[in-house]
């Protein structure tokens, strides 16, 4: 049987939840017994988002194989509960890099290289890889950005061609748009949606389904209007009002008949009835009134919460498991250095220091780690959060005042965090960190091992610097436990403080493996400890 494709395009504005919608529909199809795969096409020129500032792009999501990808891949993995690979995300930069390398090798001698067919062929080849690699029956494919963007043209053209090659009956185009509201009258407008559909049709694509997003309830007459003006079947206009609970999206789409509609249109037969009960229970649990716990998230990019997307979701998952309401209090690390923001830290039931790069805010994070240690406030450190926990410990417990990471002070006398040997000769910045899944053995009797409940785990990494083994004995003597190590014993992966209710930090990023129904043990442990901690 040929692979079926569901293409997601965006209209009117970006950030209306196209990724979440694709992820939720993926779940509805998986629940019907289909093997689904997902792919995100990013029209920007960077080879991957790894070199972009989180302010530009939000979080960089890391996969098992070390691919640095768009944060939408996090939505796909969390909703559908699948593990994706490198082929699930590519950019214009990757496409051009490949074609230019071919050209230099002489593959097209005598020819002129053009967007059509060379670039569009390469886009189609990469789309084909997903079905080939995963054996999926349905590939859900999201095009980043908004219809009309100059960069997305070759991608849409490639989809148009692909539709003709694989057959119209095997493809669906789902267009996700935004319905703005006019402030004074509260009237919801469909005109921008009509224009975005017109733009899509001008390049030869007519959407089969329109998912219209709005902050206010969308009434029937508006759906009828969209159907008429955009030439889409009435039952394929899906009104999606903003919900306060992200994980309700699949339930809403299922209620509106999207799962059945897609299945029927692709002429597929579901092998089982979707069981949405666990999701219903999850949403009920989120909505139930529960005791609140405050988590101070001490970060560098806190104005843009998308920069910490997976961390935020992992906290939510762990809160559900602990039957508490997690209130994330965003703290600018740099503020703490200027004696600001402390009232938030002091009120928090737990402190979390996430990953990051560069020296801005480092001293503030060290202060937060010191506060957590001295006042025995539950603490979870993620990657950089682990490194600052070690720097703080070295400075204030071991008395090595100059201790630092060589990332922030190249000539520090005590580089307790230092560049890995194999990183010293690397000069390229893109894709050269320690990336992806690595095994880690847990030390019996530690809080870490108790939290995980298994002797060995595999977690996703994204960093250049490591704990410097020269200091291991000294740290250990003073009460720092190396509760997780690489199996060869060479790399410190998790540390915890012996004399503390819960001060644990990992060199990897546990947030990437947390799922709504499978919360990550280290986050569950943090929220559990926070629950028991009222005021300090
Ligand atoms: N900047 C640190 C390193 O490269 C931490 C990276 C991170 O937090 N992801 O090791």
Residue whose Cα lies nearest atom 8 of ligand 1: it is 355
H-run or E-run covering 176: strand 171-178
pLDDT-based confidence at 242, cuts 50/70/90? very high
Which residues' Cβ are closer than 6 Å to ligand 1? 355-357, 383-384, 407, 462-465
Q: Which domains does the chain have, with CATH numbers?
A: 4-91+121-281 (3.40.50.300), 289-534 (3.40.50.880)
pLDDT in tens, 130-161: 999 999 999 999 999 899 899 999 999 999 99
What does the block give as tokens for 487? 């199996």
What does the pLDDT read at residue 218? 93
Residue whose Cα lies nearest atom 1 of ligand 1: it is 357
Residue 492 exposed, middle or buried by CB count within 10 Å (0-12, 13-18, 19+):
buried
Q: Which of 52, 310, 357 to mutate to test the pocket of ligand 1 (most atoms within 8 A of CB)?
A: 357
Closest ligand 1 atom, CA of 356? 8
pLDDT in tens, 289-331: 999 999 999 999 888 888 999 999 999 999 999 999 999 999 9
pLDDT-based confidence at 534, cuts 50/70/90? low
Please state, in angstroms and rounded to a whole number, the distance separating the CA atoms of residues 480 and 447: 12
Contact 8, 141 (CB under 8 A): yes
Pairing of strands 138-143, 181-182: unpaired
Please state, in angstroms and rounded to a whole number, the distance separating the CA atoms of residues 455 and 474: 25
Please state, in angstroms and rounded to a whole number, the distance separating the CA atoms of residues 440 and 508: 10
Calculate how far, in angstroms, residue 42's C-alpha sits from the geometric centre of ligand 1.
25
Q: Give residues with Cβ within 8 angstroms of 24, minimum separation 6.
A: 79, 249, 250, 253
Please state, in angstroms and rounded to a whole number, the distance separating the CA atoms of residues 314 and 338: 30
Residue whose Cα lies nearest atom 6 of ligand 1: it is 463
Q: 6: left (phi > 0), else alpha (psi -120 to 50), else beta?
A: beta
pLDDT-based confidence at 470, cuts 50/70/90? very high
Closest ligand 1 atom, CA of 357? 1
Residue 184 has pLDDT above 80, yes or no: no
pLDDT in tens, 194-226: 999 999 999 999 999 999 999 999 999 999 999
Question: What SS3 class is residue 325?
Answer: strand
Calculate how far, in angstroms, residue 51's C-alpha sits from the geometric centre of ligand 1.
13
Please state, in angstroms and rounded to a whole number, the distance separating the CA atoms of residues 279 and 440: 31
Question: What SS3 class is residue 106?
Answer: coil
Alpha helices in 348-497 (DSSP H): 362-374, 384-396, 447-452, 472-477
Residue 498 has pLDDT above 90, yes or no: yes
What does the pLDDT read at residue 536? 47
Please state, in angstroms and rounded to a whole number, the distance separating the CA atoms of residues 67 and 29: 25
What does the pLDDT read at residue 90? 95
pTM metric for this prediction: 0.94
Q: Which of 307, 366, 387, 493 to mutate to test the pocket of ligand 1 (most atoms within 8 A of CB)?
A: 387
Closest ligand 1 atom, CA of 417? 10
Residue 477 has pLDDT above 60, yes or no: yes
What does the pLDDT read at residue 63? 97
The residue among 309 and 183 whose pLDDT is bigger is 309
Q: Give residues with Cβ within 8 angstroms of 432, minimum separation 6.
A: 423, 426, 464
Q: Active-site positions?
A: 383, 509, 511
Closest ligand 1 atom, CA of 382? 8
């Amino acid at each position: 049987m040929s692979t079926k494709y569901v293409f997601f395009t965006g209209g009117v504005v970006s950030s209306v939840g196209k990724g979440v919608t694709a992820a939720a529909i993926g779940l509805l199809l998986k629940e019907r017994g289909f093997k689904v795969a997902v792919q995100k096409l990013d029209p920007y020129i960077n080879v991957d988002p790894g070199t972009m500032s989180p302010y530009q792009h939000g979080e960089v999501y890391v996969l098992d194989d070390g691919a640095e990808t768009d944060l939408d891949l996090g939505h796909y993995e969390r909703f559908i509960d699948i593990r994706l690979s490198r082929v699930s995300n590519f950019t214009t930069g990757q496409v051009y890099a490949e074609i230019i390398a071919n050209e230099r090798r002489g593959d097209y001698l005598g020819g002129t290289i053009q967007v059509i067919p060379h670039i569009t062929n390469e886009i189609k080849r990469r789309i084909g890889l997903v079905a080939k690699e995963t054996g999926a029956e349905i590939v859900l494919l999201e095009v980043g950005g908004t219809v009309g963007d100059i960069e997305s043209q070759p991608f849409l053209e490639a989809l148009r061609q692909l539709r003709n090659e694989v057959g119209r009956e095997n493809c669906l185009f789902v267009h996700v748009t935004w319905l703005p509201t006019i402030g004074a009258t509260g009237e919801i407008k469909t005109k921008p949606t009509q224009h975005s559909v017109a733009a899509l049709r001008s390049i030869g694509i007519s959407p089969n389904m329109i998912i219209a997003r709005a902050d206010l309830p969308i009434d029937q007459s508006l759906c009828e209007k969209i159907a008429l003006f955009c030439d889409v079947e009435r039952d394929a206009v899906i009104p999606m009002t903003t919900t306060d609970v992200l994980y309700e999206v699949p339930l809403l789409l299922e209620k509106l008949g999207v799962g059945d509609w897609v299945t029927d249109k692709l002429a597929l037969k579901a092998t089982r009835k979707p069981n949405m009960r666990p999701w219903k229970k999850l949403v009920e649990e989120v909505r139930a009134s529960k005791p609140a716990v405050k988590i101070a998230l001490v970060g560098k990019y806190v104005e843009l919460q998308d920069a910490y997307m997976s961390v935020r979701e992992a906290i939510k998952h762990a809160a559900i498991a602990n039957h508490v309401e997690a209130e994330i209090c965003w703290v600018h690390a740099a503020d703490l250095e200027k004696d600001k923001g402390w009232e938030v830290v002091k009120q928090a039931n737990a402190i979390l220091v996430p990953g990051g790069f560069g020296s801005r805010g480092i001293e503030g994070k060290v202060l937060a780690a010191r506060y957590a240690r001295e006042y025995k406030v539950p603490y979870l450190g993620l990657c950089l959060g682990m490194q600052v926990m070690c720097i703080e410990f070295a400075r204030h417990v071991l008395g090595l005042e100059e201790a630092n990471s060589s990332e922030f002070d190249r000539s520090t006398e005590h580089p307790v965090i230092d560049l890995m040997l194999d990183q010293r000769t690397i000069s390229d910045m893109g894709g050269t960190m320690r990336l992806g899944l690595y095994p880690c053995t847990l030390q019996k009797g530690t809080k870490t091992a108790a939290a995980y409940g298994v002797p060995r785990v595999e977690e996703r990494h994204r960093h250049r610097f490591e704990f410097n083994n020269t200091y291991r004995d000294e740290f250990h003597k003073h009460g720092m436990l190396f509760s997780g190590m690489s199996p060869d014993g060479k790399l410190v992966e998790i540390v915890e403080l012996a004399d503390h209710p819960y001060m644990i930090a990992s060199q990897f990023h546990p947030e990437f493996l947390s799922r709504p129904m499978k919360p990550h043990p280290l986050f569950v442990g943090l929220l559990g400890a926070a629950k028991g901690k009222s005021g300090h």
